Structure 1
Amino acid sequence: MSIPADLRQSRPTISFEFFPPATPAGAETLWDAIRRLERVQPDFVSVTYGAGGTTQDRTVAVTERIAQETTLTAMAHLTCVGASVAQLRRVVGQYAAVGIRNILALRGDPPRGGDGRWVAHPEGLSRAEDLVALIKTLGDFTVGVAAFPDIHPESAGFDNDVEVLVRKADAGADLAVTQMVFDADSYLRLRDAVAARRDLPVAPGLMPVTNLKQIARMSELMGTPLPQPVVRRLTAVEGDPEAVRRVGVEIATELARRMLDEGAPGLHFITMNHSGATLEAFGNLGLAAVR
Structure 2
Amino acid sequence: MRTVSLSKLEEARRALDAPLFADLAGDASVSFEFFPPKTAKMEESLWAAIQTLVPLSPRFVSVTYGAGGSTRERTHATVARIASETGVAAAAHLTCVDASKVEIEEIARAYWDAGVRHIVALRGDPPVAGTKFAPHPEGYRNAADLVAGLKAIAPFEISVAAYPETHPEAVSAASDLDNLKAKFDAGATRAITQFFFSPEAYFRFCDRAAAAGIDGEIVPGILPVSNVAQTRKFAAMCGAEIPAWMDRLFEGLDDHPAARQLVAATTAAEMCRRLYAGGVRQFHFYTLNRAELSFAICHLLGLRADASKLEQAA
TM-score (norm 1): 0.91
Q: Specify the code of the residue in structure 2 equivalent to 1:206.
A: I
* SS of equivalent to 1:221: helix
Which stretch of the first structure deviates more once superposed, 222-231 or 21-30?
A: 222-231
Structure 2 counterpart of 1:195, from 201, 204, 210 = 210
Structure 1 residue ranges without an equivalent (≥5): 1-9
Superposed displacement of residue 96, structure 1: 0.5
Q: Which amino acid aligns with 1:227?
A: P
Give, in angstroms, the shift of residue 231 of structure 1: 2.1
Higher relative contact order (CA 8 A, sep 6+): 2
- After superposition, give the CA deviation of every residue in 1:165-193 in whole Å (9 maximum; x if it has no partner): 11111111110101112121111111122
Question: Structure 2 residue aligned with 1:60, among 73, 76, 84?
Answer: 76
Which residue of structure 2 lines up, in the alignment, with residue 5 of structure 1? none
Residue type of the alignment partner of 1:53: G
Match of 1:178 in 2: 193
1:223 corresponds, among 239, 244, 257, to 239
1:101 aligns with 2:121: no
Select between 134-143 and 229-238 the one with higher mean Cα deviation: 229-238
Partner of 2:288: 272
Query: Which whole-Å CA distance do the structure 1 matches of 2:257 and 2:171 have between them?
Result: 38
What's the counterpart of residue 43 of structure 2?
Answer: 27
Task: After TM superposition, give the deviation of residue 256 of structure 1 in Å.
Answer: 0.6
1:13/1:265 contact within 8 Å kept = yes
Q: 2:172 aligns with which of 112, 133, 157?
A: 157
| Residue correspondences, number | 280
Structure 1 pair 158–236 and aligned structure 2 pair: CA distance change class (3 A):
farther
Is residue 167 from structure 1 mapped to residue 194 from structure 2 by the alignment? no
For 1:146, which of 145, 149, 161 is the aligned residue? 161
The answer on 1:249 being equivalent to 2:265 is yes
Task: Work out whether residues 102 and 141 of structure 1, in 8 Å CA contact, stay in contact via their aligned partners in 2.
Answer: yes
Q: How does 1:80-99 map to 2 (within 5 A)?
A: 80-99=96-115
Report the Cα distance in structure 1 between the residues aligned to 2:160 and 2:105, rounded to whole angstroms.
Answer: 18
Give CA-to-partner distance per residue, 1:177-230, whole Å, 9 cap, x none: 011121211111111222341321011111111223222222223332212222
Q: Which residue of 2 aligns with 1:4?
A: none
| Offset, 1:265 | 3.9
Kindly indicate whether the alpha-carbon contact (under 8 Å) linking 1:18 and 1:48 is maintained by their aligned counterparts in 2: yes
- Measure, in 2, the Cα distance between the counterparts of 1:157 and 1:202: 20
| Residue of structure 1 aligned with 2:57, choices 29, 41, 50 | 41
| Distance in 1 separating the partners of 2:294 and 2:305 | 16
> Which of 148, 151, 161 is residue 133 of structure 1 equivalent to?
148
Moved more, 165-174 or 185-194: 185-194
Instruction: Give the Å deviation of 1:238.
Output: 4.1
C-alpha displacement of 1:281:
1.2
Question: Is 2:87 aligned against 1:71?
Answer: yes
SS of match in other structure, 1:169:
helix
Return the alpha-carbon distance in structure 2 between the equivalents of residues 235 and 168 of structure 1.
40
Q: So what's the TM-score if we normalise by structure 2?
A: 0.85
Give the structure 2 partner of residue 6 of structure 1. none
| 1:124/1:289 CA distance change after superposition, 3 Å | closer
* 2:165 partner letter: D
CA contact (8 A) 1:210 1:277 kept: no
- CA–CA distance in structure 2, aligned partners of residues 213 and 289 of structure 1: 32
Q: Is the 8 A contact 2:55 2:305 kept in 1?
A: no
Query: Displacement, 1:56?
Result: 0.7
